Each structure stands twice: as structure tokens, then as C-alpha cells.
A and B are shown apart, each in its own frame.
Chain A
Amino acid sequence: MVKYILKRLFQMVITLLISSILVFILANCIGDPVNMIVSPKAPPEVREQVREMLGLNKPIWEQYITFVSDAIRGDFGDSYIYKEDVLGLILQRAPATLELVFVSVILALVISIPLGVYAGAFPKRKSSSLIMGGSILGISLPTFFIGIVLIFVFSLLLGWLPSSGRGPTATFLGMKFSLFVQGGLKYIILPAVTLSVTNIASLVRLTRAGVMENMRQDYIKFARAKGVSTRNVLFGHALKNALIPVITVFGMEIGSLIAFTTVTETIFSWPGLGKLLIDSINSVDRPVIVAYLCLTTVLFVFINFVVDLLYTIIDPRIELR
């Protein structure tokens, strides 16, 4: 186990190095940050001064080495635009995204797993084809469209839910959350639903496929013959064996939800990480982009690790090596 974790850590360092080099070079191609920092009316001397202050006059490999040696000490530098510590900036925005992802993940699980099992167990029923049709719609519709339709229906026509913003927040463990505040909950509903639609759709399909395959296996027939209740057959046996691909995909999706909620956050003005990323890309705020994507790499490696651990719990035949 320890050996496995060490191996994983080593892999993570390599991944981080490669991805940071890539991000560093690519961020350099977006444009010259000095044009974004200095007023367009400023004279060339001021531009040069700023360039020097930020160390942008040095060759790119030298900048990269400085970045890595600082990053090892936990210093990702200051944002060009906000002039704040990048890590602090990201941590400030993280709670908003995390709670949004949390709600949408819960939604996705609660809705997709039962629907998927149902559609897999009784594939010939009309209701099952309805679920499958709906899931195709869910996969195909782009997020921004779903978001705008939801706003139109629930906030403009019906007037039930607010169209944007995060609503009231309360401090919990030093971070601001809106989940625990009474009025805060209704702000999260529309963005969370928007975010979960695609996931629900793909998880339904995966669960269904897995369950359908398992339903044809002998052990299910045997369980039935033994008189195990339908519920136990479906959720205790068929689902459990269908879970491996579901969990793999689910893990990856949590990762991309946390890292790339950009579209949803922009539509609903949700002040989270996705909006920070897109703003930073637009203003060539390289320290933020690089730190953000490095953290995302860590996040994905971590999630993959957790998923691997879950495999061993679900299927004892799998060993960590």
C-alpha cells in the first residue's frame, strides 16, 4: 500500500512537471501580459519598467525555473491583475465552486443511479425508453442552453428562483458558504441542476449498460431462483458489479466539474473558480492560469487515486500495485 502511494506520488510529480511546462509555454502564447496590466495610454518606458518588475524581460526558461523553485516553497507568485497571492486567490474562490459541485454531484447520484438501474433491469418498458431518450437529450444539449432555458422558465416565467448570484453566505471554518444559510439554498438550485444534467445523462447510460449486462449473467439467475428479492438482486448484486466503470467516469467528472465549471458560473454569475480561470485567460494573468492548472492536475491525480481505492472496496479481486 505504502509502495503504491509512493509510486502514485512520483507519477504525480512527473505529471505536474510536464503539465506545468506545457501550461507555461501555452500561457505565453496567449499574448503579452504587459499590454493587459499597463494602461494603453502609457508610454514605452512605463511598459519596460513593469516588464522588468515582473521579470518578464528574462528568457522563458529562466522564468520557468524561477517559477518552479518558488512553487516548491509553496509560493506561486502574485496575480498580475489582482496583485494578490495566487494561492489565496484560488482558495478564496474555491468554496463557491465546491459547494456548487457538491450539490450537483449529489443530485446526479440520487437521480441517475436509480434511473439507470431501472432502465437496465426493465429495458423493454416504455418508461425505460423514455429515460434513455431523455438521457440522449441531456448529453446533446449544451450547458449554456440548458442554463438559459432554466433561467427563462423558473426565474422569468414562474418567478420561483433568482436568476443569478450566490445569495447570502455564512462563514464556516473560515470560508464563506451559502449552503447553510436559509435564503442561500434557492440560489444554488438552478446552477447545480444545470451542471448536473450532462452528468445525470451519461451516468444513467453507463449504469444501465452495466446493469443490463449483469442481468444476463448466471449469478443473477441463481439469486433469483434462490428467492432473493428483486430489490436486492438489482441493488445488491447487479448494481454492485456494474459500478466499476460508473465510478471511474464519475471520478473524472467530479474533477472536471470542480476545475471547469466556467460556462455555468458565467451564466449564473456564480463567483467561483471557473470564472476566475476564464477571466485570467482573458487578461493573460499567467501566474493564476499556471497555478490553477497545476492544482487541477493534483486534483485529478488525487481523484484517480481515490477511485482506485474504491475499486478494491467494490471488487475485492482488484489489488493495488
Chain B
Amino acid sequence: MKKRMTSLLLAGAMLLTLSLTGCQPDSPSGENSQQPGTETSGGETEKKSLVIGVVNDVVSLDPAVKDSSAEQQIAAHLYDPLVDYTTDLERIPGLAESWEILDDGVTWEFKLRQGVKFSNGNDFNADDVVFSLERIMNDPTLEMGVYLMRLKEVKKIDDYTVQLVTKIPYPVFSGSLSMIMMLDKETCEGLTPEEISANPVGTGRYRLVEHVKESSIKLERNDEYWGELPDAETVEFRVITNAATRTTALLNGEVDFISNIPVMDVERLENAEGIQVVTAPSLSCTYVGFDQYHETGSAGTDDPNPLMNVKVRQAIYHAIDIDTIIDTVLNGYATVANSYMPEICVGYDPEMERLAYDPDYAKQLLEEAGYADGFNLRIDARSDSDFNADQVAQAIASYLGKVGITVEVNLLPRASFYEKVNPEDLQSSCFIGGWSDTSGEGMVILNDMIHSYGDGMGEGNNGHYSNAEVDELLAQASIEKDMDKRAELVKQADAISREEAGYVPLFFKDQIYGVREGITYTPRAGDNIMAWDFEF
């Protein structure tokens, strides 16, 4: 308690110095800034504050710049999308009160929420929607554009009605829209992303108090928020890159909550007083990808490429004991994957099982494929991933060694790894990849991962798995409005790719969080940490 008081006093002192030295020009909390200090000395009426230890600072507070969960989680505090989603990835109205697909199948009409104000007092209306969407569509360097690839045009019907026309019928487009935050046209028009980032104006649950680069992002609650108000009145995202330091900061009360706890620290935190460890499966699938593109000359393996043979791929699938890998490499903090799709997805098939671990059968398959004496293989993996890809690759190498495949493990830093597995110019025969998607739609995931590569499809299908039947099923699923029918089509496509061992799904790594006693945290699907998931 004492420590918390001093830290609050410090925060107060700091705000005081800041306002005195005037290095923070547009402080939205002008008259509030000295309150934390005075209040704590009074004792009782302490503000509900939340300090969250995060791994990295955001690059920009402009919500369109980067497609990463770290950036999107901060953006979600400051801004709102048209369509929002719950902790279970269910779509709910955001700044759009309601929406419908018109009879042509490609026009979406959104009725906007009225009376919503931006933090600078401006009204939110259709012009802001048109501006926010067109800005992203017209600038290829804004990463969020990937979510609007299927959008053809945006039309303002009246002040509170907009129509969005997609290039093809795309029933899950509302899901893509939940990634796109709404900016104020009057403020942001003509501004660069850096200028928008320096002075973010949004409608979200929180407003920016201060962003000290590489140190912290301080937010305060927007009490005029149009929806339900979150418990935490002030939120600070504090950057603590080093995992051991982050754990210490939670243990001695400098922060209230941390994520990305390394598995080796879990026990120590569980035994600590006043700290609770919360785990939840993540949406991030770790898998083994195969080069199914180069008939000959695949980098790192024999000629002709043995992985073109379905039996070889099946053999590799059967040779890997995923349960043991999870127990030993990840201390059990992961869920076995039977597909790229997490359980929560439309189209996930709970009846399906992985191809069983059976090294003898794997050997038999290799023999049938004509590789009784095995072959050479290079597994490329990231050396700096947060899902222990390096150790997973080494474990897989030893399993493959047991069935006669000679494996070389090639560990690479992030940038070199992505260059090797770039689907345009694949230079890897076998790699440990990761994919995460918050759409909650199996169709979206499979379109990215097992649809044939090219023309905007199969963007994550680095190994060029390709099956005409799968493509056809997914094309049908993409335009199927009925959720159950869509799920059925997705299940069929999923089953085919499993049968053909187009890839080996490994696991969904658990998210491990630590939270101070007195605060309840409900983890959400996906990696995002939202201040409104905390209850005091």
C-alpha cells in the first residue's frame, strides 16, 4: 500500500513538473493533473488506477499504421470501430448501431450511432466514416489496408447512414471492419500519421494523457463515453521489455498486471502472495509448413523435392509427438492444435483429431513413398519468437531423425526468417510458422492459409499448398451468408487439407498473465489486453 501511495505521489509530482515546465502542450487533463497527489494524501477516495506492464511501446497512435496486436490494443482504448467484438469474438454494434446487407449481396448499409462526440467535442457522423476508410484505401503504406482489400467504395447516404460496397459478396466483412478505427475528419484531414499520433482524437473509452516514447502511455477514462463505462479510471501501459524485470515489477507492486510471462517464471509468481496467475489459450497457431511449390530445387532438401509427395508429408505428421513437445518445451502451457483454426472459430470441427503419433506407421509411409532410407531436410525457424520456435524445431528434428529423416535446424532472426518463407520467393523446404487471426471465422483463416496462393488469396499460405476442391469449397464459404452452412463448407475444406497433410498444426500457445489481488481479469480470445476486461 505504502509503495502504491508513493508511486501515485510520484506520478502527481511528475504531472506537476510537466505542467510547470510546459513540455506537454495539449494536456487534455489540465485541471485534473494535480489530483492524484492530493487525493492519495487524503486517503479514502483513491482513483481506480491500473498499471499494465507491456513488452513494447507502440510505433504510432494512428490506428491505421500498423497491423499488430500491440498497436491495435492501444488503438481500441482511444478509438472505436463501426463494429466491435466481445471477449469471445462475437460481433456487436460499435459506432454503427445496426447494419444489413442489401439485396445485391455486396452493399452493406450501416446506421450510425447518433450523439457520439470525439474527445475534441466534434460530432461523429458519416463524413468521418468515409474519411477514415478512404484514407486507408488510398495509402498502401497504412497496414490496416489488408482488412479493406475487398472494399470497393464508400458512399455517404445521409449524415448517419453510409453504404459500403464490396468487390465480391463477402458475408463476414463486418468482422474485417472491427479492425478499422474511426477518426475525426475535421481534425485529421491532411495530417500525416505522425501528426495524428501526436494528438489522437477518438471516441473511445479512454483519452490520452501522455505518451512518453519507449516508456509509457497514460490514459484517463472518457466519462462521456457512449457505452458502458469501464471500472479503471486511469490506465498506464508501462513498457518493460525484459521478461525478468517485468516479473519483478509485478512482484514488488510497480505494476498491477503483466502479460507474456515466460513459462519458467510461472511457478514463482504462483507462489507469491497477492498475485494470481491467469492462463488462457491464445489464437496464435504454431505449425510446420512445407514447400509444395518447387518440384525440384527446393532449398534445404533433396532433389526432387520429397515434400511434394503426400505420403512423405503424412509421415512427418505421424512422426511428431506433439503432447510430449508441449509438456517438455512449453511446460504444458499450450493447447494441441488439429487445424489452423482455434476452437472458437466458425467451422472448427471438435470431432476431428490430429493424425496420430505413430513412428512405425510413419516409417512405413516413407517406405511406400520410396524414401526407405530417408532424405535430407532443413527446418527453418525463428530464433527470437515468443513461442519457443527454436526449441520446437529441435524437438521435431529429433522425432524426424527417429524415422530416418536427416534434419538440419536453421535458426534465423525474424527479418531473415520472413525473407526465407516469403511465398513469392520461397527459399525454405520446411519451416516453423505462426499465424494469428481475430476474425473468429474459419473461412477467413483458411482463405489465408490453405487457399491456393495468388490474387489476394492464400496470403499466409507460404508453402503453396494447393487443392482445387479446397479452393472451390472456400469460394462457396466466402459468399455463404448462413453461418451453419458456412461452417459445414469450412469443415470439409479443413478435413481435406488435414488428410493431405498440407501442413502440420502444432499448438496454440497459452497466454499467461499475472494480476495483482483485488483486480479480476477476464482474458479475451486474442492477445489484446483491454482495460475494460478488468474489474475492481
> A: which residues have CB within 8 A of B?
30-33, 35-44, 46-47, 49-50, 53, 81-84, 92-93, 148, 151-152, 155-156, 159, 162-171, 176, 181-183, 266-269, 271, 275-276, 282-284
- Find residues 128-164 in chain B having any chain A CB closer than 8 Å to their own CB: 140-141, 143-146, 149
Given contact pairs A35-B418, A148-B245, A156-B252, enumerate 20 new A-B contacts (beta carbons under 8 Å): A39-B143, A39-B144, A39-B146, A40-B418, A42-B145, A42-B459, A46-B145, A49-B140, A50-B140, A81-B59, A148-B244, A166-B212, A168-B14, A171-B22, A267-B245, A269-B238, A269-B240, A271-B214, A271-B215, A282-B384
Given contacts A30-B415, A164-B240, contact A269 B215 (CB under 8 A): yes
Give Cα A214–Cα B283 distance, bound, in whole angstroms: 68
Given contacts A271-B214, A271-B215, A275-B214, contact A46 B140 (CB under 8 A): yes
- Which residues on the A side are within 8 Å of B424 (C-beta)? 44, 47
Given contacts A30-B416, A39-B146, A171-B21, contact A151 B194 (CB under 8 A): no
- Which residues on the B side are within 8 Å of A162 (C-beta)? 254
Give Cα A221–Cα B10 distance, bound, in whole angstroms: 57
B214, B419, B422: residue with the most chain A Cβ atoms closer than 10 Å: B214
- Find residues 403-420 in chain B having any chain A CB closer than 8 Å to their own CB: 413-419
Q: Are B67 and A35 in contact (CB under 8 A)?
A: no
Q: Are B213 and A271 in contact (CB under 8 A)?
A: yes
- Which residues on the A side are within 8 Å of B414 (C-beta)? 31, 36, 282-283
Give Cα A111–Cα B356 distance, bound, in whole angstroms: 64
- Candidates B3, B22, B59; contact of A159 at CB < 8 Å: B3
Given contacts A41-B146, A269-B239, A284-B415, contact A168 B17 (CB under 8 A): yes
A31, A32, A38: residue with the most chain B Cβ atoms closer than 10 Å: A31
Q: Are B419 and A32 in contact (CB under 8 A)?
A: yes
Give Cα A315–Cα B384 distance, bound, in whole angstroms: 50
Q: Are B240 and A83 in contact (CB under 8 A)?
A: no
Query: What are the 8 closest A-B residue pairs judged by CB atoms, nearest first?
Result: A31-B415, A271-B214, A168-B14, A39-B67, A171-B23, A39-B143, A35-B418, A41-B146
Q: Are B252 and A163 in contact (CB under 8 A)?
A: yes
- Which residues on the A side are within 8 Å of B194 (C-beta)? 83-84
B146, B248, B415: residue with the most chain A Cβ atoms closer than 10 Å: B415
Is B249 engaged at the interface, CB distance under 8 Å to the other chain?
A: yes
In the assembled complex, 15 residue pairs joining A and B whose CB atoms fall closer than 8 Å, in A order, are A30-B415, A31-B416, A36-B414, A39-B143, A40-B460, A42-B143, A53-B140, A53-B141, A156-B251, A164-B248, A165-B216, A165-B238, A168-B13, A171-B21, A268-B242
- Which residues on the A side are within 8 Å of B60 (C-beta)? 82-83
Quote the shortest CB–CB distance from A166 to chain B (angstroms).
6
Quote the shortest CB–CB distance from A263 to chain B (angstroms).
10
- Candidates B3, B65, B214, B245; contact of A93 at CB < 8 Å: B214
- Which residues on the A side are within 8 Å of B297 (C-beta)? none
Q: Are B459 and A43 in contact (CB under 8 A)?
A: yes
Q: Are A268 and B459 in contact (CB under 8 A)?
A: no
Is B332 engaged at the interface, CB distance under 8 Å to the other chain?
A: no
Is B448 engaged at the interface, CB distance under 8 Å to the other chain?
A: yes
- Find residues 9-31 in chain B having any chain A CB closer than 8 Å to their own CB: 10, 13-14, 17-18, 21-23
CB nearest neighbor in A for B147 = A41
- Candidates B13, B245, B416; contact of A268 at CB < 8 Å: B245
- Candidates B249, B416, B456; contact of A163 at CB < 8 Å: B249
- Which residues on the B side are within 8 Å of A35 (C-beta)? 415, 418-419, 422
- Candidates A159, A266, A283; contact of B415 at CB < 8 Å: A283
Is B193 engaged at the interface, CB distance under 8 Å to the other chain?
A: yes
Is B241 engaged at the interface, CB distance under 8 Å to the other chain?
A: yes
Given contacts A31-B415, A168-B13, A271-B212, contact A42 B252 (CB under 8 A): no
| Binary flags per residue of B158-196, CB closer than 8 Å to A gives 1, else 0 | 000000000000000000000000000000000011100
Q: Are B248 and A156 in contact (CB under 8 A)?
A: yes
Q: Are B240 and A181 in contact (CB under 8 A)?
A: no
Give Cα A269–Cα B414 distance, bound, in whole angstroms: 21
- Candidates B59, B252, B416, B448; contact of A41 at CB < 8 Å: B448
Q: Are B143 and A38 in contact (CB under 8 A)?
A: yes
Q: Are A269 and B242 in contact (CB under 8 A)?
A: yes
Give Cα A170–Cα B212 distance, bound, in whole angstroms: 12
Chain B: residues with Cβ within 8 Å of the partner, total of 55
- Which residues on the A side are within 8 Å of B252 (C-beta)? 155-156, 159, 163
- Which residues on the A side are within 8 Å of B3 (C-beta)? 159
- Which residues on the B side are within 8 Å of A33 (C-beta)? 415
Give Cα A284–Cα B414 distance, bound, in whole angstroms: 10
- Which residues on the B side are within 8 Å of A165 (C-beta)? 215-216, 238-240
Give Cα A115–Cα B194 distance, bound, in whole angstroms: 50
- Candidates A30, A41, A182, A282; contact of B67 at CB < 8 Å: A41
- Candidates B66, B213, B241; contact of A269 at CB < 8 Å: B241
- Find residues 225-268 in chain B having any chain A CB closer than 8 Å to their own CB: 238-242, 244-245, 248-249, 251-252, 254
Q: Are B23 and A176 in contact (CB under 8 A)?
A: yes
CB nearest neighbor in B for A176 = B23
Give Cα A133–Cα B169 distance, bound, in whole angstroms: 75
CB nearest neighbor in A for B459 = A41
- Candidates B145, B193, B413; contact of A83 at CB < 8 Å: B193
| Binary flags per residue of B53-85, CB closer than 8 Å to A gives 1, else 0 | 000000110000111000000000000000000
CB nearest neighbor in A for B7 = A162
Q: Are A32 and B415 in contact (CB under 8 A)?
A: yes
- Which residues on the B side are within 8 Å of A276 (C-beta)? 214
CB nearest neighbor in A for B433 = A40
Quote the shortest CB–CB distance from B237 to chain A (angstroms).
12
Quote the shortest CB–CB distance from A107 to chain B (angstroms).
21
CB nearest neighbor in A for B249 = A163
CB nearest neighbor in B for A283 = B415
| Binary flags per residue of B114-133, CB closer than 8 Å to A gives 1, else 0 | 00000000000000000000
CB nearest neighbor in B for A184 = B14
Give Cα A266–Cα B23 distance, bound, in whole angstroms: 26
Give Cα A152–Cα B251 distance, bound, in whole angstroms: 10
Q: Are A151 and B248 in contact (CB under 8 A)?
A: yes
Quote the shortest CB–CB distance from A215 to chain B (angstroms).
44
- Which residues on the B side are within 8 Å of A84 (C-beta)? 194
Quote the shortest CB–CB distance from A59 to chain B (angstroms).
18
Quote the shortest CB–CB distance from A190 to chain B (angstroms).
10
Q: Are B17 and A92 in contact (CB under 8 A)?
A: no
Give Cα A166–Cα B212 distance, bound, in whole angstroms: 10
Give Cα A80–Cα B414 distance, bound, in whole angstroms: 16
Quote the shortest CB–CB distance from A171 to chain B (angstroms).
4
Q: Are A31 and B419 in contact (CB under 8 A)?
A: yes
Give Cα A79–Cα B298 distance, bound, in whole angstroms: 35
Give Cα A151–Cα B140 distance, bound, in whole angstroms: 44
Quote the shortest CB–CB distance from B163 to chain A (angstroms).
25
B13, B215, B413, B460: residue with the most chain A Cβ atoms closer than 10 Å: B215
- Which residues on the A side are within 8 Å of B244 (C-beta)? 148, 151, 267
Q: Are A31 and B418 in contact (CB under 8 A)?
A: yes
- Which residues on the B side are within 8 Å of A42 (C-beta)? 143, 145-146, 459
- Which residues on the A side are within 8 Å of B448 (C-beta)? 41
- Which residues on the B side are within 8 Å of A159 (C-beta)? 3, 252
- Which residues on the B side are within 8 Å of A32 (C-beta)? 415, 418-419, 422
Give Cα A53–Cα B140 distance, bound, in whole angstroms: 10
A92, A164, A168: residue with the most chain B Cβ atoms closer than 10 Å: A164
Q: Are A163 and B245 in contact (CB under 8 A)?
A: yes
CB nearest neighbor in B for A167 = B10
Quote the shortest CB–CB distance from A164 to chain B (angstroms).
5
Q: Are B415 and A151 in contact (CB under 8 A)?
A: no
Give Cα A38–Cα B456 distance, bound, in whole angstroms: 14
Q: Are B13 and A183 in contact (CB under 8 A)?
A: yes
| Binary flags per residue of B376-418, CB closer than 8 Å to A gives 1, else 0 | 0000000010000000000000000000000000000111111
